[in-house]
Amino acid sequence: MNLEKVIFGFFVLLAATLNFGFVIGDIADPELHNIYELFAAIVVNLIATVLKFGDRTQIGAVHLATSLVADLQLIAAATVWSYASQVSSLGVDAEAMSSVVSLAAGALFANVVSVILLVAETMSFQRR
């Protein structure tokens, strides 16, 4: 068993599940979406991105691209939430929360693509 592959798979799957946990629920209800869960999803996605930098294969490049997309969308979601809660006079209303959850859902899609790539890569691996 390759410990590096285990750690890589762990962070890819954890990023997807944290993101899913944040996205699940009514899109416009701020009480169903925890800011700390969004923060955890961002941190774990950033760790997964760093772990993907060493792979020089074509599938590694796609892994990195999906991770960068997820990072960008999650950071954008956190920025919208921060703006709504700290700057906007309306606060975190249904419209702002819909934007946050929509951005996080886009990141979730990128994470799902990454998980599919991981599974496909694992299934195509042949022992020598």
Q: How confident is the model at residue 57 (pLDDT cuts 50, 70, 90)?
A: confident
8 A C-beta contact, residue 37 and residue 21: yes
- Phi then psi dihedrals of residue 66, to 5 deg: -65, -35
Higher-confidence residue: 90 or 55? 90
User: Cβ-count burial of 19 within 10 angstroms (0-12 exposed, 13-18 middle, 19+ buried)?
Assistant: buried
Question: Does the structure show a pLDDT above 60 at 46?
Answer: yes
Question: Does the structure show a pLDDT above 80 at 110?
Answer: yes
CA–CA dist 108, 28 (Å, integer): 17
CB atoms within 10 A of CB 51: 19
Q: How confident is the model at residue 126 (pLDDT cuts 50, 70, 90)?
A: low
Domain boundaries of the chain, sorted by first residue? 3-124
Mean pLDDT of 95-105: 96
